[in-house]
Structure 1
C-alpha cells in the first residue's frame, strides 16, 4: 500500500518528526541557499500516473527546495528507465558530476527513495558512495528520515519495500505480456515485411514482396545469401529494402530467412537481456531462455511464406553452413595477428573442400558494395616460412632491412612515473571503498598487497629508466627473445596455442600487402615489457 501523504492524521512524516531532527530540513544559519541537484526518474508506466509524472515531480521538487532553503542548480532526468539496474545514463552523469572538483552541488533531492534505487543492494551501495565518500547529502522530500540509527533503519525498510514493489510489478508485467502473447499479439518491433496495427502484425505489401522473393531465390538455389544482401543493400530489385535504413549484411539476411514469423508463427520470451556490473560499468548480456519458457502461437498473423518453402530454405542454409564452415578461432598459427594493408581488418582462416586453407581478409566476404576487393590473402604455410625466415635472420644478425618496432599503445606507453601515480590513485580508491562499506577488510588487504607489489616494480623501472632504448638496444633485446620463440615454433609437438603465445610476445602485428607483394612484421618494443 502507498505511504500516507503529508497532512493526513496518521501521517508518516508526523511520526518521524517526533523522533528527532530530520534529514533534509537543515537551514543555513546565514540564510544562504544550499545548492542541490534534482534527480527524477520516470518509468514508462508512470508517465501518465497522477503525482508521479515528470512535470509533477519537477514541480514538487522545486516547491520543496524553495520552502526549505535549497536552490536546484541542476536536474538529471531518466525518462522511461528502470530502477532495477545502474544502466541509467543521467544517474551515472550525476555521480560523475558529484566526483568533480569543484563540485556543482552539495545535495541531491528525490521525490521518493525508490526514484534513487529500487533494490537493497543498489540503494546501500550508492547511498554510501554519495554520503560517506563524496560528502553529498541525500534527501527524499516525501519520505524524510531522522538522523542516527532510527533513520538508517527506516530508510532500509523503505528500500526493502521498494524492492518488493519492483519485483511485484515485474511479475504483473510478465503475466500481462504472457496473456497478450497467448492471444497472438505482437510484443516487439515489427519485422521487415509487416506493419503493426492494434497490436497485431499485418502484411506490408512492398516489403513482403521482397521477403517472399528472397525465400524463393534461396529455396531454388538461384541466389546466395550474399547476393541477396548485396541486392537489398542497393535497393535492387526492391527499393523498399532501403526505406527503413536497414544495413543488409549477409548475417541480417540469414536471420530473416530463419525467422519463423514469416510462416505466421509468433514466439515470445525466447531471449533475455540482463545487466552485469563489473568495475562500476554496466554491460548488457543477451541469451536464449529455455524453450519450455517460450510462448509460441501458430497462425498468429498472416504468413508471407508457406511452410514447405521455409523448410526448403532451412535445408539450403544448413548445407551452406556445412560447406563453408566458420573460421577457426585460435586453432591456427598467427590467429589475430595478421591484418590487411588495404582496409586494416584481420585476415581469418578459410578452407573448403575445393580450395586449400588460406588466411583471407574478413572484409572480402561482405556484400560487394561494402567489401575489400580484390582478395587479400596468404597461405598459412607461406606465412609461417616467411616469419621463421625473418626470425632466423635477426638471430644471425643478417637482417636485410631495418626492423619495424610498433609504437606502444597509449595505455601501455605511459611512463613508470605516470603508472606510479595511477597506482597510488587505485590505492586511495580502495581505501575509500572500504570506508564506504563497499568492500571487506580482507578484500582491502589482498588488493592493497597486489598494488604495493606493482608499485615496487614500477619504482625499480623508474630508477633504471634513461632516455629510452635506442634502435640497437631494441634489436639486441629482440634477438635474445627470438631464440626461445624459434625453438617453440620448430617444436612439432608444441600446441598451436603455445606457439601463438610465444609469437604474441614478440610480434604486435603482421601486415599483408598483396598489391606490393610485401609482408611487414611489426615487432613489440622493449618498453612494453615494463607494463606486461
Structure 2
C-alpha cells in the first residue's frame, strides 16, 4: 500500500477555491479509492490567506519538502486538490516537482486534474502551470487596479491609522485614540522630541495600535502621515512596513475628518525637517573604535554614537529605556584604554611578530576557495537544496567576488614588510591605524563592555582562548 501526503492551501481568491476542509475531503476520498494510506501527520495545511507565489514564505510547504528529503522517504506521493495549490510560480513548480519526482521518487498528483505519464500529459501539466501563473499575475493586477480606483475616490485601502477606525468604507475618528494623536502633534509643535513623546506615552500606559510600547521612530512615522489632515496616501509599489521606496506615493483627498489643522501640521513638518538637517550635518562619517562594543546596563541595548561625538543608549534614543547613558566618546575611549593598562599591564605586552606570508599566495588561495564555493553551489542547486532565485543571487555574488580578487592580483604590488613588536596601548591611542582597525583590535580583546551611568562604572568582559 502506498503512503501518501496531502498539501492543502487556500489563498485569497474567494469563492473560486474549496475550503481547506473541502479540499481535504476530496483528497481523502481519492486516497481511499486508490488504496493509499494518508496518515494525519502527513497532512500539511497552510494558514488561510497564504499566497502560492513564493515557496519560501509557506511554512507547511517547506516542512513537507524537508520531510520528503529524509531517507528512507516517508511517503510515496503528494496529493493536491489542484496543481495550483502546489505553486503559482512555474519556477517553483519546476524546481520542486523535479526534485520530488526525479531525485526523491515522490510523485505529485492533482486529484481533480488527473494526468498520466505520457508526453501529452507532460505538456498538459506545463500548460496548467502556465495558466496558474497567468491567473496569479492577472489577479494581482486586477486587485491593484481596484485599489487605485478606491484611492482616487478617497476611500481607504489599508487598515486604519492610529486614531481612526473604519466604518462604511471610510475612516471615522476613534474616540479613545484620536485625542492622543492631537496631543502628539501639539507636543511636537512645541519642540518636544519624538523620543520624549514616546517616553511620555509609555509612562502613561498608552500602547500603540498593536498593543506595543512606543518608539521614537513610530512617533515620527505617525507625525508624517497625511491621513491626519484628511488625505489618503498609498504606494502601490510598496508591500508593507515603513521601508523607503524610490517610487512615488499617491496622495488624494480623503472622505474622512482630519484630526489636526493645516497650521499645526505645517509646524510639525518644519520641526521634523529642521531635525533631519541638523542630524545630516553632524552625522559621523567614520567607523569609531567602540562601535558595537559598549552596552547599556539598564536595558542591554548597545551605545551608539550621537551627533555630538558622544555615545548614548540606543534604547534611550528610541524611547524604550528610561535612563540616559550619555558619555563623551573620547572620555569613554580613554577610560577603557586605562582599564586595559591596569588589568593586563599592556605597557609591557607586545604583539608577537607575524610570520611572513606572501600576500599574492593568500589572494590565490582565496580565488581557489571562491571557485570551490561556486562548484558546491551548483551541486546544491542540481540536488534541489537551493531554489533558482537563491542560486542566481549567490552565484552573482560569488562571481563578483572572484572578479574583485582577480583584479587585485593583477593590480597590487606586494613590498616586503619589516616586522617589529608593537605596543598595543600606544597603538590604540595613536593615529597610526584607522578607527575601523582600532574597532577590530578591540573586538579581539573584549567580548563586551557594560556601562552603568548611575554608578559611573564599567564592566569589561574579555575574550577567552
Q: In the alignment, which of 305, 312, 315 is matched to residue 349 of structure 1? A: 305
Change (3 A) 1:95 1:335: same
Unaligned 5+ segments in structure 1 are 1-31, 275-283, 400-425, 448-479, 527-532
| Separation (CA, whole Å) in 2 of partners of 1:183 and 1:249 | 33
TM-aligned CA distance change 1:285 to 1:516, over 3 Å: closer
Residue 67 of structure 1, CA deviation:
1.0
Partner of 1:233: 202
**Counterparts in 2 of 1:323 and 1:171: CA distance versus 1, 3 Å:** closer
CA contact (8 A) 1:331 1:497 kept: yes
Equivalent residue runs for 1:37-116 within 5 Å: 37-46=5-14, 48-49=15-16, 52-73=18-39, 74-78=42-46, 79-86=48-55, 87-100=57-70, 104-116=74-86
C-alpha distance in 2 between matches for 1:255 and 1:102: 53
Instruction: Note the 1:71-470 alignment, pairs <5 A.
Output: 71-73=37-39, 74-78=42-46, 79-86=48-55, 87-100=57-70, 104-147=74-117, 149-221=119-191, 223-235=192-204, 245-269=211-235, 272-273=238-239, 286-291=243-248, 294-323=249-278, 328=284, 331-352=287-308, 357-367=309-319, 370-373=320-323, 375-389=324-338, 393-397=344-348, 431=379, 433-436=381-384
> Per-residue displacement from partner, 1:65-115 (whole Å, max 9, x unpaired)?
111111221322222111111211211222233234565433211112111
TM-score scaled by structure 1?
A: 0.67
SS of 1:190's partner is coil
SS at match of 1:92: helix
Secondary structure of 1:303 counterpart: coil
Please give the alpha-carbon distance, in whole angstroms, between the structure 2 residues aligned to 1:488 and 1:64: 75
Task: Give aligned pairs, total.
Answer: 410
TM-score (structure 2 length as normaliser): 0.76
User: RMSD value over aligned CA atoms?
Assistant: 3.7
The CA deviation string for residues 213-239 of structure 1, in whole angstroms up to 9 with x for no partner, is 222232244x44334323333447xx6
Q: CA deviation at 1:380?
A: 2.2
Distance in 2 of aligned mates of 1:371 and 1:197: 37
Q: Distance in 1 between matches of 2:461 and 2:228?
A: 50
- Contact 2:284-2:307 at 8 Å conserved across structures: no
Cα separation, 2, equivalents of 1:105 and 1:377: 60
The DSSP-based 3-state class of the residue aligned with 1:288 is: coil
Cα deviation, residue 36, structure 1: 1.4
- 116-125 or 93-102, which moves further after superposition? 93-102
Q: Return the offset for 1:243.
A: 7.9
Following the alignment from structure 1 to structure 2, what is the Cα–Cα distance between the partners of residues 482 and 434?
51
Post-superposition shift, 1:161? Answer: 2.1
Q: 1:315 to 1:106 in 2, by over 3 A?
A: same
Q: Which residue of 1 aligns with 2:458?
A: 519
Task: Confirm or deny: 8 A CA contact 2:217 2:318 kept in the other structure.
Answer: no
How far did 1:311 drift?
0.6
Distance in 2 of aligned mates of 1:318 and 1:360? 22
CA distance in 2, matches of 1:484, 1:126: 58
Cα offset, 1:189, TM superposition: 0.7
Describe the shift of the 1:330–1:39 C-alpha distance in structure 2 as closer, same or farther (beyond 3 A): farther
Give 1:116 deviation, angstroms: 0.5
Unaligned runs of 5+ in 2: 351-373, 399-418
Q: Secondary structure at the match of 2:166?
A: strand
**Quick check: 2:154–2:232 contact (8 Å CA) kept in 1?**
yes
Corresponding residue of 2:365: none
Give the secondary-structure state (helix, strand or coil) at the position aligned to 1:272. coil
Structure 1 pair 168–365 and aligned structure 2 pair: CA distance change class (3 A) = closer
